[in-house]
Amino acid sequence: MRKETIARIKYGLLILLTVYAAVCFSMRLTVRETALTAEDCMLYYIVNTDGMKGLGHSIVMIVDEEGCGTVCSYNGMQRSLRESLQGKSGIGKMSIGTMTADETDAFLQSGNLHLDGDQLTDNYDVALYRPITADAYDTVLEQTAPYLAAEEQFAALYEKWAMEENTDKKAEYKQELEQMGQGDSQPVYQIYTNNCDHVARLLASSVDSELRDYTDHTWRMTPNGNVKAFGIKAESWGIMTLGEQSLSERILMFLMIF
């Protein structure tokens, strides 16, 4: 009886692994050109496959008529990684960096990003892209305003807390900082519901109905899983690799489907 139970468990695991492998193969991204008519500017939804301990990190890049790129990266600031994993929300940091046309082209060729800001000095691997109008370029950039405003408000209050010597007033400032992190009046970073990938898709979906529909009705746990699921679904978007991927990056991209 015990041998039969073990055999059933083995067969069950084998079936699960077979199904998992089949799904992984079905979600493989292949390079393709965008089918949309060329516009003045470009929009890129980009993932660093092995960012955030292998879960991936997403950014958005918009490129203007002159070929100059602006990169937007969102990450947690108020909470430690441990607190974030415990589900605590907090004010996030919206890092924005700009590049010349030559620097933008070099980034798309190599995947190596060298800018000041959180997650803006790293190696990125895969990008989904599409042409957009100059007005759409401005719209994407405008979406960063609430995040920047929340960050600025938090920084000002934090400075008051750090400089305050009166114990009661200091406690009051600390309570206000905690309340800001709850997200009642401004956007906050929450690793499970509003992380780097959620915000990247929100910025990009402000000018793309396909991505907006995907964001409203589909949920994947990781940036890698989302970029693959959307890339397969949105045939109007192009798919490109940035530089050479290492063996570990290729394995991670293949295995991450959630």
- Residues 145-184 have pLDDT tens digits of 999 999 999 999 999 999 988 888 889 989 999 888 887 7
| Cα 139 to Cα 62, 105, 204, 227, distances in angstroms | 11, 23, 9, 22
CA 223-256-235 angle, to 5 degrees, is: 65
Which residue, 219, 186, 183, 217, is CA-closest to 87? 183
How is residue 94 written in tokens? 């919206």
Q: Rounded CA gap, 103 and 66, in Å?
A: 12
pLDDT in tens, the chain (258 residues): 577 777 677 777 878 877 877 777 777 888 888 866 667 899 999 999 988 777 789 999 999 999 999 999 999 888 887 888 888 899 999 999 999 999 999 999 999 999 987 778 999 999 999 999 999 999 999 999 999 999 999 999 999 999 988 888 889 989 999 888 887 778 999 988 899 999 999 999 999 999 999 999 877 888 999 999 999 989 889 999 998 888 888 888 878 778
Which residue, 91, 162, 136, 130, is CA-closest to 231? 130
Asked if residue 196 lies in contact with residue 59, where contact means CB atoms within 8 angstroms, the answer is yes
Residues 6+ apart with CB under 8 A from 98: 68, 69, 70, 71, 115
Q: State the CB neighbour count (10 A cutoff) for residue 105.
A: 14
Tell me, what's the pLDDT at 116? 85
Tell me, what's the pLDDT at 56? 86
Tell me, what's the pLDDT at 76? 87
Range 185-201 burial, b when 16+ CB lie within 10 A, else e: ebbbbbbeebbbbbbbb
Helix (H, G, I), strand (E, B) or coil at 130: strand
Tell me, what's the pLDDT at 32? 83
Tell me, what's the pLDDT at 1? 59
| Cα 256 to Cα 56, 82, 91, 195, 253, distances in angstroms | 9, 22, 28, 17, 6
Tell me, what's the pLDDT at 38? 66
Element at 47 (helix H, strand E): strand 41-48
CA 138-141-144 angle, to 5 degrees, is: 150
Q: Are strands 69-76 and 121-123 parallel, antiparallel or unpaired?
A: unpaired
How is residue 38 written in tokens? 């060329």
**Sign, Cα dihedral of 210, 215, 216, 217:** positive
What count of Cα atoms within 13 Å lies in the side-chain half-sphere of residue 247?
0
Tell me, what's the pLDDT at 255? 81
